Chains A and B, each alone.
Chain A
Amino acid sequence: MKFPKKPDEIYFFGTCLIDMFYPDAGISAIQLIQKEQVKVIYPQEQTCCGQPAFNSGYRQEAQTVALQQIKLFPKKIPIVVPSSSCGAMMKHHYLDLFEDHWALESIKDFSERIIEFSQFLVHVLKIKMEDLGEPVELTWHAPCHALREMQIREEPKQLLQQLKNVKLIELEREHECCGFGGTFSIKFPEISKAMLSDKIDDISKTGASCVLSGDCGCLMNIEGGLKFQKKTMVGKHLASFLWERSNGKS
């Protein structure tokens, strides 16, 4: 994969889930990037990448919403996305969604500039962080779309390895889906539940106090399950965790 050189400024696409449920992850990611002397532009008119409608087959509706986003990011600078599944939607699935669209070429230009948050930190910023936190044991849930669509394998772990007081305990079936899948979790609750229960068992087995992920869909699902089962373990977005550790609680 090719990554750009460290830019002076970037766009930030916050995603709708982060906007509504995990704004702390979004602002942490922005601050981590700003700290590296890169200007962050957050177009206030952004909403959602269109993935929920696209995944449900409603392509026309997804197109309208996607086009609304694309026009907000005209400068030829990277667009950082703190979610692998929204990132994959914009980087890869837009090309399917707009296959026959007259503006395909400019959409391609937009898609090429999409870069996921952990990849941006590792490959573009080449960030070096200092750990200011107490010793902690945690585990990592690898989002499916990070692994299989954005080709993110080691980046999140490379970031965590920079933190000297953090011990990462890997999940037994790290590459297996947590059962979220967007509307799948609502349309097929029993199957989703079976998948989530197994994931929670695996997470519990690690004995870690915190489970991190890079996708708020997975996180919402896993956290929801942990809380429902009255587990003490908490779920957190990688960006929130990195900001807390390298900057003290903001």
Chain B
Amino acid sequence: MKQHFDIEKHLREDLELSAPSPDFSKKVMGAIEGVRIAPPSRTYINKKVVYGFGLFFLLLIVAAVVWALVSFNWSAAGKFVSAVELNKLNLSQYITHKTLNSLLFLNILLGLIFLDKYFLRRSLR
């Protein structure tokens, strides 16, 4: 079969379409009897309004950039001061037994929620 059967040829020659009921076109003509052809969307979609929205958002972005540039303190360049002094940071006061337990509990909770959602999705499938 693999040697002689040309699937391309048979698909081109032998593929058939299904036919709806014989009165299908009459039914459709009946259904469109009261229907009016809608005017083309270009006639009721006002391009000026679309461009107006575009311009508004563009102006918003430009205004934000201009404001950021104007309010920026250019003379501060080169005098970078770190917001957090790392050598003075004492992490041990934050990493306590209680904090670690809380984080562990939160992780277990998130894990359970994830598993629940995973099994729910699998059963839906």
* Same complex: no
A residues with a Cβ closer than 8 A to B are none
B residues with a Cβ closer than 8 A to A are none
